[in-house]
Chains A and B, each alone.
Chain A
Amino acid sequence: MTDLNRPVQEDELHAYADDRLDPARRAEVERHLRSNPALQRRIDGWRQQAEALRGALAFRLQEPVPASLNLGRLLEQRITGRQWRLFATRWRVAAAMVLMLGVGAAAGWTVRGTQRMGEVTRLGMEAAAAHTVFGADPAHPIELGPDHEAELVAWIGRELHRPVQVPDLRAQGYRLMGGRVLSTIIGPAAMLVYDDAQGGRITVFLQPMRSDVAPMQPVRSGAANGYAWIDAHMGYGVISDGDAPVHGLADRVRQAMIPEH
């Protein structure tokens, strides 16, 4: 079996401090510590820390659990529908982004006060949220894959009440993964997800808008960045992760979507 006289390992000191050693080995470690007062002090310190941390965080165990975390209520909301849940998650993400955009503005980021620019800012946020929540989801970024492109186009057209096209970005190195329809606070939207050979993903976001046109505006929100604009009452967002340059892609999408340009 185990050799009780083997040297005491660092991992065993932690297991000893956490009371997770079997009794035989514990006795051995204790003997080792008796001849190493400095080591004993180190372990005493760890134990005091653990005690202090448990004490410091105990208030969270004692507080009543807020109603927002009531399991029955969450279950009920879940049964009320998938749409509600998507809205709830996306709403929170969007709320976090509003805050970050506000911070961006405070730091000199331009959010111009006109109605139209506000609309593009919100569009950019929705696009970034869609990319963060769905586009970057490793398991389920899309509802319909590239094999169902015609079905996808029909679905999006039906929900957005206007025909849409799927831009071909293969020349830019991006392949269509698929897409889905989304619900947002102001109505239906759609997203198309593409990936490149390295697995990098971009989201093309589409949403009917009240304004006719608005110039391309940068979007930056957390790790997501890209561009948003409006053309012919359709809002577009092209969003990527990290610092991948997307300006060229955004231009390409713009051309593809408005062929008469």
Chain B
Amino acid sequence: MTLMGEIEASIPALRRYAWGLLRNGHDADDLVQDCLVRALDRLTTDAAISAVRPWLFTIMHNLFVSRWRTLRRRRDIVGGDAEAAAEVPVGPDQEGALVMRDLLAGLELLSDDQRQALLLVTVEGLEYREVAAILGIPVGTVMSRLSRARDNLQVHMDGRRRPSLRRVK
């Protein structure tokens, strides 16, 4: 695949990760567009791009870090997790919709650092060392953020699930 073809093929994953970071479709696509423009600028200047996807995620991470304050403040005012949940299509089953909403609310509660590690590992399926390179941190730090993210999200989900389990009994 050509370099351009590989970039093109990565766009859906970039859109998915950007949404996970911002939980707002418009902001996420703005971030992806900035990322692609930046990537096109760097095609000729960045030394050998060995793996396109991690390279793109690194560019996007850096853009996110340099802009996150603005975007997050904007989102706090605009909507929060209820609005984020409204963007995610769910099936007709109401229980599924509730679980989805809990999951997104849980994701919202994580720190940016934890959310990034969790999404890059579990959703994007990147290697731990790739995630470390993207976030600019040691692998050990990726593992500890991942661990805290998983346990925090679990505590949140368990807390939310209990009443519904009692109902099922």
Decide yes or no: A100 and B70 within 8 Å by CB, A53-B119, A54-B122, A78-B37 being known contacts: yes
Decide yes or no: A49 and B69 within 8 Å by CB, A61-B12, A63-B15, A71-B4 being known contacts: no
In the complex, A260 Cα to B74 Cα: how many Å? 43
Decide yes or no: A49 and B37 within 8 Å by CB, A57-B123, A65-B12 being known contacts: no
| B residues contacting the other copy or chain, number (CB 8 A) | 51
* Chain A neighbourhood of B150, CB < 8 A: 14, 45-46, 49
Say yes or no: B121 contacts A18, CB within 8 Å: yes
Say yes or no: B16 contacts A60, CB within 8 Å: yes
* Chain A neighbourhood of B16, CB < 8 A: 57-58, 60-61
In the complex, A50 Cα to B123 Cα: how many Å? 7
Name the residue on A nearest B27 (C-beta): A96
Say yes or no: A52 contacts B99, CB within 8 Å: yes
Within 8 A of B (CB), among A39-65: 42, 45-46, 49-50, 52-54, 56-61, 63, 65
* Chain B neighbourhood of A167, CB < 8 A: none
Within 8 A of A (CB), among B1-34: 4, 7-8, 11-13, 15-16, 19-20, 28-30, 32-34
Say yes or no: B77 contacts A103, CB within 8 Å: yes
Say yes or no: A96 contacts B40, CB within 8 Å: no
Decide yes or no: A46 and B154 within 8 Å by CB, A53-B118, A53-B123, A57-B20 being known contacts: yes
The digit string for A50-93, where 1 denotes a CB below 8 A from any CB of B, is 10111011111101011011010011001000000100110011
Q: Is A187 an interface residue (CB 8 A)?
A: no
The digit string for B139-169, where 1 denotes a CB below 8 A from any CB of A, is 0100100110011011001100000000000
What secondary structure prevails in chain A residues at the interface with B?
A: helix
Q: A54 is contacted by which of B33, B40, B123, B143 (Cβ under 8 Å)?
A: B123
Binding site for B on A (CB under 8 A): 10-11, 14-15, 18, 20, 42, 45-46, 49-50, 52-54, 56-61, 63, 65-66, 68-69, 71, 74-75, 78, 85, 88-89, 92-93, 96-97, 99-100, 103, 136, 222-223
